[in-house]
Amino acid sequence: MWNKLFAWLDERLALNDLYKATLDRPEPKGNWWNTLGSASLFLFLLQGATGIFLSVYYTPSPDHAYDSIQYIMNGVAFGWLIRGIHHWGASVMVLVVFVHMLRVFVTASYKYPRELTWLIGVGLLLCTLGMGFTGYLLPWNQKAYWATTVATSIAGSVPWIGSFIQKALRGGTDLSALTLSRFFAAHIWMLPAVLTGLIGVHLFLIIKHGESEFPGKDD
Amino acid sequence: MAGSHHISRRDFIKITTAAVGTVIGAAIGLPSIAYLIDPALKAGKTDAWMPLGKLENFEVGKPTLATFTRSKVNGWEKSVNSYGVFVLRTSDTETLVLSNKCTHLGCHVNWNADKQEYICPCHDAQFGINGEVLGGPPPRPLDRYSGDQVKVEDGTLLIHFLEG
Ligand code: HEM
Ligand code: FES
């Protein structure tokens, strides 16, 4: 009965093929450095889950952002845990993604046929940093406010178009309610959407090309 | 390699992955449930004994307005509401306290000393000195605090207030 049901589903959904392609594909000899991509993926999912939970209580308005986070930390059961994971997970994710990139660089895995995997990886790194940048403002405390003031001023120092970039980031000349809501939109909708798409292609390419062999002594 | 005949490398990986996955899932999943339903668990009683002032300051036989505010905390949002009640000392020992909230649509009624009636400014309802409906649209008498809903402590009159 169970086997029949599975066969029926498999015929239409190619479950076995999917399983083979994703989890049962040939791998070069195991190496812990090769787990960093999967670790990045895990952290991305973890940040997604805890982020969704935070959005249940967080309020992206200058009047309420700070209080809503105080409430998450002190008023809601396990709020400290959910926020703690999201807070520290953000730093760990930047670190892990970066070390993942270093290992790909050191093992020269970016070479043919994986140039695009690398390029998409660059996009992933930028988006990950963007997540950190936009997320940092959301608590709307002194540190967040001034860090974003400084960072957007740095963006403003670009020749010619600097002041335009700065205004676009801030949603006006100063940091305001508009800055907070556009950072929030970028943090929970735009960047995650882009990340999801890029990760999809990244993983597709990894499955397509297989994992590169770890360079030997002769390489 | 003792034991290698009993469990294959693949099965070992599968089992450890499932076990670690379950532990991580539970460690995050279970607190998340508590996190999500927390406000429902905490929404508790909102009643309190509200002091209305010294009993001796209320004249016997004359309804007098007493007001007080209550603050309500909903998560990070705090709202302050004011409430009013009419205190009527029916005798030296007996006190009747009526809510000033019209039972029609909630406007604040006023005591009209000439007519000896409470008048609602919104749709012209009239209530008697004990809160009974004399005319107009209200479906029931004014809410009252009497019996064990009223007490005097150290000369101060208190009512058992149930709302916010
Ligand atoms: C959100 C961030 C990222 C995620 C979720 C992710 C995920 C993964 C995964 C699961 C793998 C396969 C396992 C492994 O080799 O570790 C992988 C491989 C790879 N990644 Fe990433 N990655 C991310 C960022 C990057 C970055 C920043 C770069 C470089 C700029 C990059 C370049 C590559 C390349 C070239 C491979 C193929 C490695 C090989 O075949 O040996 N990735 N990635
Ligand atoms: S609200 Fe008082 S009569 Fe309508």
Cβ atoms of A121 and A203 within 8 Å: the answer is no
Q: How high is the ipTM of this complex?
A: 0.87
Nearest to A72 by CA among A96, A85, A62: A85
What are residue A4's phi and psi, to 5 degrees? -65, -45
Stretch among A25-34, A38-47, A142-151 having the lowest mean pLDDT:
A25-34
Residue A72 in any domain: the answer is: yes
DSSP bridge partners of B96: B88
| CA-based radius of gyration for chain A | 21
Nearest CA in chain B to A70: B76
Model confidence, pTM: 0.81
Q: Is A218 within the bounds of a domain?
A: no
For B77-105, give the secondary structure using H, E and C. Answer: EEEEEEEEEEEEECCCCCEEEEECECCCC
Chain A 14-73, residues with CB within 8 Å of chain B CB atoms = 46, 49-50, 53, 56-57, 59, 64, 67-68, 70-71
For residue B72, the model assigns a pLDDT of: 82
Q: Is the dihedral of CA A140, A144, A149, A153 positive or negative?
A: negative
Q: Is A131 on the interface with B (CB under 8 A)?
A: no
The residues, any chain, with a CB within 8 Å of residue B69's CB and separated by 6 or more, are B80, B81, B82, B83
Distance CA A194, CA A203 (A): 14
* B43 reaches A (C-beta below 8 A): no
What pLDDT shows up at residue B5? 64
Determine the distance in angstroms separating the CA of B35 from the nearest CA of chain A, rounded to an integer: 5
Residue A90 host element (H or E): helix A79-106
Of A144, A146, A125, nearest to A191 by C-alpha is A125
Residue nearest to atom 7 of ligand 1 (CA): A37
Q: By alpha-carbon position, which residue is closest to atom 1 of ligand 2? A: B105
A88 pLDDT more than 80 = yes
User: Mean pLDDT by 10-residue block, N- to C-terminus, for chain B (164 residues)?
Assistant: 70 94 96 94 80 91 92 85 92 90 94 94 94 95 89 92 74
Interfacial B residues in 76-115 facing A (CB < 8 Å): 76-77
Q: What is the pLDDT of residues A122-174, one digit of tens each?
A: 999 999 999 999 999 999 999 999 999 999 999 999 999 999 999 999 999 99
Distance A118 CA to ligand 2 centre (A): 72
Q: Is residue A14 part of a domain?
A: no
Taking the CA of residue B80 and the nearest CA in chain A, the distance in Å comes to 17
Structural domain includes residue A70: yes
* Nearest CA-CA partner of A80 in B75, B32, B29: B32
The residues with which A177 forms a beta bridge, in sequence order, are none
Residue A117 lies in a domain: yes
pLDDT for the residue B40: 87
Q: Are A54 and A72 in contact (CB under 8 A)?
A: yes
Compare CB distances from B75 to A57, A77, A78 and report the shortest one's residue. A57
In a domain, A22, yes or no: no
Q: Give CA–CA dist A177/B33, Å, rounded.
A: 31
CA distance A134 to B137: 56
CATH code at position A54? 1.20.810.10
For the CA atoms of A164, A169, A171, A172, the dihedral, rounded to the nearest 10 degrees, stands at -50
- Residue B161 corresponds to which tokens in the numbers above? 């207030």
Give the three-class secondary structure for A47: helix
Ligand approaching nearest to the C-alpha of A100? 1
Size of interface A-B (CB pairs under 8 A): 43
Would A187 be classed as within a structural domain? yes
Residue A14 DSSP label: -
How many structural domains comprise chain A?
1
Ligand 1 centroid to residue A37 C-alpha, Å: 5
Please indicate, yes or no, if residue A135 is contained in any of the structural domains: yes
User: Do A71 and B38 make contact, defined as CB atoms within 8 angstroms?
Assistant: no
Q: Which amino acid is at A68?
A: S
Ligand nearest to the CA of B124: 2
- State which residues form the domain around A119: 35-209
Q: How far apart are CA A213 and CA A207, in angstroms?
A: 14
Nearest residue on chain A to B24, alpha-carbon basis:
A46
Place of tokens 């960093």: A36
